[in-house]
Structure 1
């Protein structure tokens, strides 16, 4: 009996920001759309590219990016070229895209400007390489539509300023974030997150989320390490 040469399985292509799909043949790409805020022209361009290259569907992801699903490998480069947009990093030990709600920019319930803070955090950290992934979210009010309580760094707006939470996670071992500071301004949040990210760079380990590290060293020790306090 003749042995047939095995056909190599396709896989995710990090350098092209393309993730292999369940069929093992096609890919998804997700151009960067911070906070999911886009104008009609950008949406039309994404739709046109999806249609041109025969994509299976479009999907807004949990990171508020518009994913083009079901592209052939040979069309990935051309699709990115036609989009002319920044690629959304899809895999690896990075700060993921910051998730944020409309805040006071659009929402009648907003108590703080989640869009301004979310955009600043996105520009500051997104794609930064770390020992393991880190997720961030900002909500403009206690409704917490962006789910900050299950993010490594979560920020929730209130009438008295921002509440800062750390160590949240979903997944197989869910963990609610710990409140470490209240009544903060946007500037104070940015300074505190800087210190948290630097801490994670120094203490982080492969496949270990921030919440796990906090559980190992204790919340009070973590707050001391990064200079956090509750007002």
Structure 2
């Protein structure tokens, strides 16, 4: 009799455990569905905002809050420029009565408040082609002073950053793409929240992928360690071309999150 009661009790406990596991699984599935829906809604919202905000991609101009004037942002790799270039920017801003000059987080100088009719003239006076501050491409390669100027630098962020900018700035991709090159672990170029990031370590470059800031911030995943400059450049080329051929409109980090750990491991094998 006691034995039967024990069996019944054990069976009841097993059923209770099964029920808990089922509920746990259902909750997990519900959370995944909710997360997927939120990602789809956010992606749709971003696309709608891109369509309605009225930026002039071919002119490299970003519409301002008044929906009448625009900002143009001359491209200075890493924010490095000659005094003469700064004077030219100031002259153009004065000539076309810009509302402001703004140093941007992408290490550009934005000339804010240009009339649409004056955009082409402003670019011509600057002697520069329209930059890639907007659009589905490699928008920026942000880099810190590295060993060129900074006492804390472990690697030459300026050298690598300039070469990355030369090779990849403006490269057409499924979505916007940002690169960060930091000469040490202080990460002044925000490498951990870039689509592709480089962090200077004592023995070479640490490479990270899939970071993001904005409305859905994400810390990047480590892809490789202790690479030379040449190895880092080769890996950047493979990552960008892999992403270019992905059938997705998602940012790289969101894409890697969506496909999961197994696919991320495949991604690593494909680019390493």
Give me the TM-score of the superposition, normalised by structure 2.
0.77
Partner of 2:139: helix, strand, or coil?
coil
The corresponding residue for 1:185 is 228
Distance in 2, matches of 1:186 and 1:119, equals 12
RMSD (Å), alpha carbons: 1.4
The corresponding residue for 1:214 is 256
The corresponding residue for 2:134 is 91
1:203 matched to 2:246: yes
Distance in 1, matches of 2:132 and 2:177, equals 13
Partner of 1:154: helix, strand, or coil?
strand
Distance in 1, matches of 2:225 and 2:119, equals 45
Which entry has the higher C-alpha Rg, 1 or 2?
2
1:164 aligned residue (207, 211, 221) = 207
Post-superposition offset of 1:146 = 0.4
The corresponding residue for 2:16 is none
Distance in 2, matches of 1:12 and 1:220, equals 37
The corresponding residue for 2:269 is 224
Partner of 2:253: helix, strand, or coil?
helix
Distance in 1, matches of 2:167 and 2:93, equals 30
The corresponding residue for 1:107 is 150
Distance in 1, matches of 2:215 and 2:70, equals 26
Where in structure 2 are the equivalents of 1:49-128 lying within 5 Å? 49-128=92-171
**2:147·2:156 contact (CA, 8 Å) conserved in 1?**
yes
- Select the structure with the greater relative contact order (CA < 8 A; seq sep ≥ 6): 1
1:146 aligned residue (189, 199, 215) = 189
Post-superposition offset of 1:90 = 2.7
The corresponding residue for 1:3 is none
**2:73·2:110 contact (CA, 8 Å) conserved in 1?**
yes
Q: Deviations over 1:63-91 (max 9, x none)?
A: 11100000111211111111102322132
The corresponding residue for 2:67 is 24
Partner of 1:112: helix, strand, or coil?
coil
Please, which runs of 5 or more residues in structure 1 have no aligned partner?
1-8
Partner of 1:157: helix, strand, or coil?
strand
Post-superposition offset of 1:180 = 1.4
Distance in 1, matches of 2:245 and 2:53, equals 35
**1:132·1:204 contact (CA, 8 Å) conserved in 2?**
no
Post-superposition offset of 1:115 = 0.6
**1:155·1:164 contact (CA, 8 Å) conserved in 2?**
yes
Distance in 2, matches of 1:16 and 1:61, equals 18
**2:160·2:229 contact (CA, 8 Å) conserved in 1?**
yes
Post-superposition offset of 1:10 = 8.6
Partner of 2:113: helix, strand, or coil?
strand
